Structure 1
Amino acid sequence: MRYLFSALLAAALAASGCESSDSPTGPTDPSVGLGLPFSATDVTVGTGAEATNGRTVSMQYSGWLYHPSAPENKGPSFDSGVFNFVLGTTVIAGW
């Protein structure tokens, strides 16, 4: 009897430590995180065709580290360039 109780207790503890493989691994709301605002500005409105799913689009981006006392809170730039991708597809591989 004692062995059965110990085995059941061990099985219950092992099962309670398992996590479902379909449970989320991170925040489901992308705005949850550092609490810093995100901004996107269309500085030049184009004259070409409307960007719709399946079309290749090109965007120029710049990334800055946050600096609380710098103009527009932009500290040192860490990356910038042009990024081309097909709209409506996965931009980051694996996501």
Structure 2
Amino acid sequence: MIRHLVVKSAILSLLLAATTAGAQDATQTQAQTAAANPGSTQQTTDQPAQPTAQSTAPQIQIIDTVVGKGKEATVGSTVYVNYTGWLYKPMAAKQRGRKFDSSLNPGRTPLDFPLGAGRVIKGWDQGVAGMKVGGKRTLIIPSDLAYGKRGSPGGIPPDADLIFDVELLDVK
């Protein structure tokens, strides 16, 4: 146990020394640059640059085309929507590739589902939340929030990003 702590302490010391040395090198380089260019407005600092947090999680894109005025869709409510879905193709007209499904097709009815219950793809739970009845929205959903690596027997290939036009008809 003591040996483990000593090794861990030594590793932390090496990391700290490397970080401090890197910051000192950067400060010296900035000072040398400023000395070589006396008219420069570059400012030097003794503080190393702070890393910025960047999310690597897939993000849904939400584009409201009509903002509704009715009841808001909240987690736990049942929503009723009309939709049309296409494969997302960024270079295609309106970014829409092949259409794979629509509740507007003859003989079809609006889709209803409990919002946030995981009965639809994650992108739908995220993208419909906050809509108001009468609203229309375009959802661009990355594959990780859609059908992912498995795809769907309904004609959605593995790793496909999707785009949907959604209209919120009712919230109960």
TM-score (norm 1): 0.43
Task: Pick the structure with greater CA Rg.
Answer: 2
Structure with the higher fraction of residues in helix conformation: 2
TM-score (norm 2): 0.28
